[in-house]
Amino acid sequence: MGWFSSNNNNSIDDDKALVRACCVVGFLCSAWNLFGDLYFMDFFTVHMREETFGMIREEKKSGYLFQFNPRNQWLVFLVQAGGWMYPIWAMATAIPLYIGFQAEENETSGAISWKKCRATVPCALLVYGLCLVGGAFHSAFAFITVLPNVVHYPPNSNNDGGGWSDLVGTEQFPLFLEMAQTRIIQHIFAGALPGLVALQISSVWIALLVHYRSQYHQFPKWFNLFNPVTTTIWVQALGAILPNPVGFYLVGCLGTWGPLFLNLGTTYCLWNANATNAYSIRETASRFSWEEKRRLVGPAKTTEDK
């Protein structure tokens, strides 16, 4: 019985350490991703028109968070590099989910194990979707900044805002820019579409398992409040209420909020589940130890037996 207790308690400690490590990694990845989202949103404010997504404005504005000029274009490379960490972020988000989605076969099963996960497919879709979206949006989204930077920061200019239009001197130049920028945006979203679909399918799948298959996991039903679908709904609703640019920037960072809240919710639920399982194991081990002792010693003698 001593081996039973120590073995399961060690397993619980290992799972808690793994969940904690994944939470820390996920939080750091979210911070880097949030920096990139805010940079891109501020870039859109400076260089893009409000009425048409991604289309270049004639004269650039001032940013709310960053200073944009030809000397700090290295920030684009730093933001673009955020796409490199998406596989790490995806694994840090999916591993705790994978641990939590297991059937509790009996009360002595004790700690969370890696066996008999009931959500392997949605977890795999989640990893695939995050990796693809990270590459398509954060890595490829940097290409949207190319034409605006060329237009607003021409060579041998004093950054007077005239851009290439003074050099080209033709009415067709704005149309050329709009068509080129439109094609770039179309290719980026086409490349990200499978990832977006995979993320939506995995999120809905996980939500259904949490709500209707409680025997398959260790999450309460309110865990769906941390589901990316739920996060999308309340972020967009809050963004519509808040004034610009706060609401605009909040919704624009939706790619950060979904995985971040999912990771935090998973960590919180599994931490409590581990604590509950540890208490259950100690109680079970204590009961088994008492029953084993009674079997070896035999029934207690009564007064009549004496």
- The pLDDT of residue 281 is 38
Evaluate if residue 5 carries a pLDDT over 50.
no
27: in domain: yes
- The pLDDT of residue 288 is 44
- The pLDDT of residue 76 is 84
Give the Cβ contact number of residue 135 at 10 Å.
17
Q: For 146-156, what is the mean pLDDT?
A: 74
6 close to 217: Cβ distance less than 8 angstroms: no
Q: Both tokens of residue 19?
A: 């969940």
- The pLDDT of residue 83 is 83
The reply to whether omega before 245 is within 30° of 0 (cis) is: yes
The reply to whether omega before 154 is within 30° of 0 (cis) is: no
Evaluate if residue 8 carries a pLDDT over 70.
no
Q: State percent of the chain over pLDDT 70.
A: 73
8 close to 111: Cβ distance less than 8 angstroms: yes
Give the tens place of pLDDT for each residue, 87-128.
999 999 999 998 888 755 544 344 445 456 678 889 999 999
Angle (CA) 118 120 126, round 5°: 125
Q: Both tokens of residue 213?
A: 């298959």
Give the tens place of pLDDT for each residue, 233-261.
999 999 999 998 899 999 999 989 999 99
132: in domain: yes
Q: Which of 59-63, 173-177, 202-206 is the least confident region?
A: 173-177
Q: Both tokens of residue 33?
A: 């991703």
Q: Which of 50-54, 213-217, 236-240, 262-266 is the least confident region?
A: 50-54
41: in domain: yes
Q: Both tokens of residue 285?
A: 């081990």
Round to whole Å and give the CA distance between 33 and 134. Answer: 9
145: in domain: yes
301: in domain: no
149: in domain: yes
Q: Both tokens of residue 151?
A: 């237009």
Report residue 285's pLDDT band, with 50, 70 and 90 as the boundaries: very low
Q: For 41-48, what is the mean pLDDT?
A: 87
Q: Both tokens of residue 14?
A: 């290992």
Q: Which of 1-15, 74-88, 266-280 is the least confident region?
A: 1-15
Q: For 72-99, what is the mean pLDDT?
A: 87
- Rg of the Cα atoms in the chain: 27
Q: Which of 12-26, 163-177, 192-206, 262-276 is the least confident region?
A: 163-177
Could you say which DSSP state residue 57 is in?
A: P
Give the residue from 194, 178, 195 showing the smallest Cα distance to 144.
Answer: 178
Report residue 299's pLDDT band, with 50, 70 and 90 as the boundaries: low
298: in domain: no
Round to whole Å and give the CA distance between 25 and 285. Answer: 35
Mean pLDDT score across all residues of the chain: 77
Evaluate if residue 46 carries a pLDDT over 90.
no
Tokens 């274009």 correspond to 73
86 close to 256: Cβ distance less than 8 angstroms: no
Report the range out of 14-18, 96-100, 299-303 with the highest average pLDDT: 96-100
Give the tens place of pLDDT for each residue, 183-240.
888 888 888 889 899 999 999 999 999 999 887 788 899 999 999 999 999 999 999 9
Q: State percent of the chain over pLDDT 90.
A: 29
Q: How many residues does the chain have?
A: 306
Please give the residue range of the domain that contains residue 106.
2-162+173-292
Collapsing DSSP to helix, strand or coil, 102 comes out as: strand
46: in domain: yes
Give the residue from 96, 98, 112 showing the smallest Cα distance to 281.
Answer: 112
229 close to 251: Cβ distance less than 8 angstroms: no
- The pLDDT of residue 24 is 93
Query: What is the domain count for the chain?
Result: 1
DSSP lists the bridge partners of residue 117 as 102
Round to whole Å and give the CA distance between 152 and 63. Answer: 14
